[in-house]
Amino acid sequence: GIYRSTDAAATWTRVQTGWFRDLDFHKEDPDRWYACSNTQFFLSTDGGVKWSSKTVSGMSGTRRLAISSSEANSDFIYLVAANGDGRFAGLFHSTDGGDTWTRRSTTPSILEDNIDGTVNTGRQGQGWYDLAILASPTDAKSVFVGGINIWRSATNGQTWTIVSDWLGRSGKSYVHADIHDIDYSSVSGKIYAATDGGLYVTTNNGTTWTEINGTKAIMQFYKISITEQSNIILGGSQDNGTNRFSSNEWREANGGDGMDNGIDPTNSQIMYCSNPQGDLRKSSNGGQNFGPMLTDNTTGESGQWVTPFVIDMAKPDNLYAGYRRVWKSTDK
For residue 207, give the DSSP letter.
S
Tell me what pLDDT residue 218 has.
83
d(CA 274, CA 152): 34
- Residue 122 makes CB contacts below 8 A (sequence gap 6+) with none
Q: What percentage of the chain carries pLDDT values higher than 90?
A: 83
CA 132 to each of CA 157, 196, 201, 251, 269: distance values in angstroms, whole numbers, following the listed order: 14, 13, 15, 29, 42
The string of pLDDT tens digits covering residues 273-311 is 999 999 999 999 999 899 988 876 678 898 999 999 999
Q: What is the three-class DSSP state of 89?
A: strand
- What are the φ and ψ backbone dihedral angles of 276, each rounded to 5 degrees? -55, 150
Spans of the chain, pLDDT less than 70: 296-297
Tell me what pLDDT residue 299 has.
84
The answer to whether the beta carbons of residues 38 and 82 sit under 8 Å apart is no
Tell me what pLDDT residue 102 has.
95
Tell me what pLDDT residue 297 has.
64
pTM of the complete model: 0.88
Tell me what pLDDT residue 5 has.
98
Rg of the chain over Cα atoms, rounded to whole angstroms, equals 23
Measure the N-to-C terminal CA separation of the chain; round to a whole number of Å: 53
